[in-house]
Structure 1
Amino acid sequence: MRIVVEDAAVSTVDEVGTEYGAGHVIINDGVIERVGPGPAPDLGPVDRRVDGRDCLATPGLINTHHHLYQWATRGLAQQADLFQWLTTLYPIWARIDGEITHAAATAGLARLALTGCTTAADHHYVFPSGKGDLLAAVVEAAGAVGIRLHAVRGSMDRGQSRGGLPPDSIVETMDGALAGTEEAIDSYHDASPEAMVRVAVGPCSPFSVSPELMSAAMELARYKGVRLHTHLAETVDEEEQCRAEFGCTPAEYAEKLGWLGHDVWLAHGIHLSDGAVRRFGDSGTGVAHCPTSNARLGAGIARVRDLTGAGAPVGLGVDGAASNEDGGLGAELRWATYLARLRGGPEALTARDALRLATIGGARCLGRQEELGSLEAGKQADVALWRLDGVEHAGIADPVAALVFGTLPPLALLLVGGQTVVEDNEIRTVSTVDTADALRVASARLVEVAG
């Protein structure tokens, strides 16, 4: 199927930042065939023409860190810091099952799609015994919504009896966690360029995972040829605990365990020394920057400009909806820009820098920069077409500034591999009414059971 988008402003986010005031994108069988200025040339039969006037075409946005199951527990622990928030919610999460997880994941992924997201990394690390195949529930939800999923099979083996934060009832044994992770890779991981599902290995964090599991998970991931992900350097409390237990900072601890490298991306990375920033850059270790969640929990502001300047891949993450009730990715462009400027002044991050974080930066974190993250011939046809003709954006001559600084525009079209997921700002793959109803039922049941 050949699709032609014409007369749109185009921000390709390629290596040199090519943009067209009025240009075209041609898609053929799910792959970008051509991007250029002016009207589209005649390359043969066209199945669909899309009028892009008053629109901006960008790559689909990439969410590098999420916890979709948390859509069922939004609005709780409203004034808590990270450790208080976790200890409040862990006992509730211990009651999740496949039905609740599917409802929450469907709602979360639908919300992401409606805010321009075409690829999402979901870090699922809660696996209560006897509650069904929760990872399968997330994979099924992603298939229904139609966006790409990087399923991070998480794990925890360090409960409260071993000095961890989660209750013992919610953690796995090391052998059980490794077996479940290997099964997930064998069942779902697709290494092909057009893959809709990939799997990564993701022990949760240093305060809920033993050093032994961290090391064994790393070995498993590298044996299987998949990527590694965990939380790191999110709060001052984490650093204090890490120094007390291991005699080093979280970044130093990760390095000692072999958890730095081009196949690793870490969530948050807020509290990093100058030396850690350099080591991340030198090793190609990625960071999922989650500005809204960090602000909601009062965790701090990541050193995004320093990290990118050092050469570290940095992408944007929504994080769990229990610490970011908005749950959309598009708004994170503005949050990332403004928080960077609070830290480093008005030149710390530009609108185009923010768009790069949300696209090619995220693709680098996930190891998919050759396939996703920019509008270039040969890449997968993940395209967001934003409408800029409303009163909210009238008078902003720079379309990228309108996208980043203004109200998030409605989507004229969102394509994933050339397939329509959103059109005229409505999701076309699932019913939002049914999705909302299922989420309400799941949330009420979870709170009732947990309470």
Structure 2
Amino acid sequence: MKTVLKNIDYLVTMNEKREELRDAYIVIVDGVIEKVGVGIGPAGEVEIDLKGHIVTPGFVNTHHHFYQSLFRSVKEVASAKLFDWLVFLYEKWKKLDGEAIFVSSKIAIYEMMASGVTTTTDMLYLHPAGREGFIDSEIEAAKETGVRFHPTRGSMSLSRKDGGLPPDSVVQSERKIIEDSVRLIEKYHDRRRNAMIRIALAPCSPFSVTGESMIATAQLAEKYDVLLHTHLAETKDEDDFCIQKKGLRPVDYMEKVGWLNRRAWFAHLVWLNEKDISKLVENDCGMAHCPTSNMRLGSGIAPVKEMKAAGMRIGLAVDGSSSNDSGNMLLEIRNALMLQRVLKGADALSPRDVLEFATLGGAKVLRMDDFTGSIEKGKAADIAAFRLDTLSMAGGLSDPVASLVLCDPHGSDFVMINGKVRVQNGRIIDSDLPELIKRQNQISAKLLETSPA
């Protein structure tokens, strides 16, 4: 089917020349962009008028924990640091079941989609004893939403009794982790161009898995040619933990266990020095920058300006909804800009820098930039559009691209994923959404042992 998006006021392509077009159109055939041009476009079987909009590539979210959308703004840890926050919430998270994973995944995805996200990953590392198939549940949820999904098979093998943070009930043996990782790769991983589902492997962090688990996972990723992901250098406490337990700082420890390679991308990377940055760049590692989470937990300010200057692959991420409390990628883009500027000056990053992190940058981190992350011929039709005639954008049209970051467009008015419309007139296309929200609140209340409002 031929679809034409026409009368686009401003089009941010993120192509090789980083072209920004006025009065543009996009021709899409069977989910793939056939042509991008200016002026009057050709007729299509379906024509969508985007006059009064700025259009960008769909945003790519590079780190999340969907299930945490059930645990937003938990009052007991609203002002806690990461380690204390984790220890408290593990006791709630260990009660999760398949329905909780399915419902919270749809909620988390739809929330991101409402702000322009078309591709996301997720790190699901909780696998309570006796409850199987959590990754399968979130994959089924993702399929129903239509998002392009790159889940990671998270894992924890180091429990509290062995010097880690999680309780025994949510950790698994290394054998079980590897067996299930193989199962998920062989069942779901799609190597084809324009894939809607791919699998990566993700031991949770240096303080929740053994060194043997890290090594075995890296070897498995090489065997099956899949990506690797973990949290790294998020807090000063983690830095101290690694030195105390491993005798090495986090990046050096990753080097020891074979994780500094082009398959790997790391969430946070706050506590780095120049040598760390050089090692990461030399080994072509990627970064999921989580500015809101880093502020929320008081973790620190990642050296993003320096990593960008060094040539690192950088994407943005909303992180889990209980360490951010929001899945709004527009807010993440803005916070990425502001957080660097507050420490390093007004010229630390530009609005276009952070917009690139959220689109092409994220696609590069997930190694999907051959088919998403930009609007150009041959790429998948992953597209977001934002209205320019809103109250908060009024007076900001001298540079609508910068205004998308500096002002407040509130949310996406239109989202297309793989050529299919998923948000129209600012609304998620899912008639079951009100009931889904109701069920999310019921499950959340039960897990937190409170009564829903």
Of 68, 71, 85 in structure 2, the residue corresponding to residue 70 of structure 1 is: 68
* In structure 1, C-alpha distance between the alignment counterparts of 2:135 and 2:431, rounded to whole Å: 20
TM-score between both structures, scaled by the size of structure 1? 0.97
Q: CA deviation at 1:400?
A: 1.0
Q: CA deviation at 1:147?
A: 0.5
CA contact (8 A) 1:157 1:171 kept: yes
Q: CA deviation at 1:131?
A: 2.1
Q: Is the deviation greater in 198-207 or in 125-134?
A: 125-134
Q: CA deviation at 1:203?
A: 0.4
CA contact (8 A) 1:4 1:49 kept: yes
* In structure 2, C-alpha distance between the alignment counterparts of 1:448 and 1:130, rounded to whole Å: 22
Report the counterpart of residue 37 of structure 1 in structure 2.
38
* In structure 2, C-alpha distance between the alignment counterparts of 1:208 and 1:253, rounded to whole Å: 14
Report the counterpart of residue 429 of structure 2 in structure 1.
428
Report the counterpart of residue 143 of structure 2 in structure 1.
143
* In structure 1, C-alpha distance between the alignment counterparts of 2:225 and 2:431, rounded to whole Å: 33
SS of the residue corresponding to residue 308 of structure 1 reads helix
Q: Is the deviation greater in 185-194 or in 218-227?
A: 185-194
CA contact (8 A) 1:293 1:323 kept: yes
CA contact (8 A) 1:403 1:409 kept: no
Structure 1 gaps, min length 5 = none
The C-alpha deviation readout for 1:214-267, integer Å capped at 9, x for no partner, is 000010011011000000000000000101112211011001111111111000
Q: CA deviation at 1:3?
A: 1.3
Please report the RMSD computed on the Cα atoms of aligned residues, expressed in angstroms.
Answer: 1.2
Query: Which runs of structure 1 show a deviation greater than 6 angstroms over 4 or more consecutive aligned residues?
Result: none
Q: CA deviation at 1:152?
A: 0.4
**Amino acid of the structure 1 residue aligned with 2:423:** V
* In structure 2, C-alpha distance between the alignment counterparts of 1:208 and 1:352, rounded to whole Å: 37
Q: Is the deviation greater in 127-136 or in 63-72?
A: 127-136
CA contact (8 A) 1:331 1:408 kept: no
**Amino acid of the structure 2 residue aligned with 1:68:** F
* In structure 1, C-alpha distance between the alignment counterparts of 2:180 and 2:449, rounded to whole Å: 29
Residues 393-432 of structure 1: pairs in structure 2 closer than 5 A: 393-396=393-396, 397-429=398-430, 431-432=432-433
Q: Is the deviation greater in 403-412 or in 77-86?
A: 403-412
Report the counterpart of residue 301 of structure 2 in structure 1.
301
Q: CA deviation at 1:127?
A: 0.3
Report the counterpart of residue 60 of structure 1 in structure 2.
58
Report the counterpart of residue 334 of structure 1 in structure 2.
334
Q: CA deviation at 1:51?
A: 1.5
Report the counterpart of residue 245 of structure 1 in structure 2.
245
Residues 284-433 of structure 1: pairs in structure 2 closer than 5 A: 284-396=284-396, 397-429=398-430, 431-433=432-434
Q: CA deviation at 1:46?
A: 0.9
CA contact (8 A) 2:120 2:150 kept: yes
SS of the residue corresponding to residue 21 of structure 1 reads strand
* In structure 1, C-alpha distance between the alignment counterparts of 2:297 and 2:274, rounded to whole Å: 24
SS of the residue corresponding to residue 330 of structure 1 reads helix
* In structure 2, C-alpha distance between the alignment counterparts of 1:307 and 1:36, rounded to whole Å: 34
* In structure 2, C-alpha distance between the alignment counterparts of 1:289 and 1:409, rounded to whole Å: 21
SS of the residue corresponding to residue 443 of structure 1 reads helix
* In structure 1, C-alpha distance between the alignment counterparts of 2:410 and 2:82, rounded to whole Å: 31
* In structure 2, C-alpha distance between the alignment counterparts of 1:38 and 1:275, rounded to whole Å: 50
The C-alpha deviation readout for 1:318-351, integer Å capped at 9, x for no partner, is 1000111112212111000000111211111111
* In structure 1, C-alpha distance between the alignment counterparts of 2:284 and 2:135, rounded to whole Å: 28
Q: CA deviation at 1:66?
A: 0.1
Q: CA deviation at 1:314?
A: 0.5
* In structure 2, C-alpha distance between the alignment counterparts of 1:262 and 1:343, rounded to whole Å: 30
CA contact (8 A) 1:282 1:310 kept: no
* In structure 2, C-alpha distance between the alignment counterparts of 1:402 and 1:12, rounded to whole Å: 16
CA contact (8 A) 2:21 2:38 kept: yes
**Amino acid of the structure 2 residue aligned with 1:96:** L
* In structure 2, C-alpha distance between the alignment counterparts of 1:108 and 1:287, rounded to whole Å: 21
* In structure 1, C-alpha distance between the alignment counterparts of 2:273 and 2:341, rounded to whole Å: 19
| Identity value in percent | 39
* In structure 2, C-alpha distance between the alignment counterparts of 1:36 and 1:352, rounded to whole Å: 21
Q: CA deviation at 1:278?
A: 1.3
Report the counterpart of residue 17 of structure 1 in structure 2.
18
**Amino acid of the structure 1 residue aligned with 2:349:** L
CA contact (8 A) 1:55 1:385 kept: yes
Q: CA deviation at 1:430?
A: 5.1
Q: CA deviation at 1:410?
A: 3.7
* In structure 2, C-alpha distance between the alignment counterparts of 1:246 and 1:157, rounded to whole Å: 16
Report the counterpart of residue 127 of structure 1 in structure 2.
127
CA contact (8 A) 2:392 2:409 kept: no
CA contact (8 A) 2:73 2:322 kept: yes
Report the counterpart of residue 443 of structure 1 in structure 2.
444
1:115 equivalent to 2:127? Answer: no
Q: CA deviation at 1:409?
A: 4.1
CA contact (8 A) 1:25 1:32 kept: yes
* In structure 1, C-alpha distance between the alignment counterparts of 2:430 and 2:314, rounded to whole Å: 30
The C-alpha deviation readout for 1:73-102, integer Å capped at 9, x for no partner, is 111210101001000101111110001111
CA contact (8 A) 1:90 1:166 kept: yes
**Amino acid of the structure 1 residue aligned with 2:60:** I
Q: CA deviation at 1:36?
A: 2.1
The C-alpha deviation readout for 1:21-67, integer Å capped at 9, x for no partner, is 22111111100111122222x3xx51111212110110000000000
TM-score between both structures, scaled by the size of structure 2? 0.97
The C-alpha deviation readout for 1:155-182, integer Å capped at 9, x for no partner, is 0000011100001111000101111111
Report the counterpart of residue 46 of structure 1 in structure 2.
44
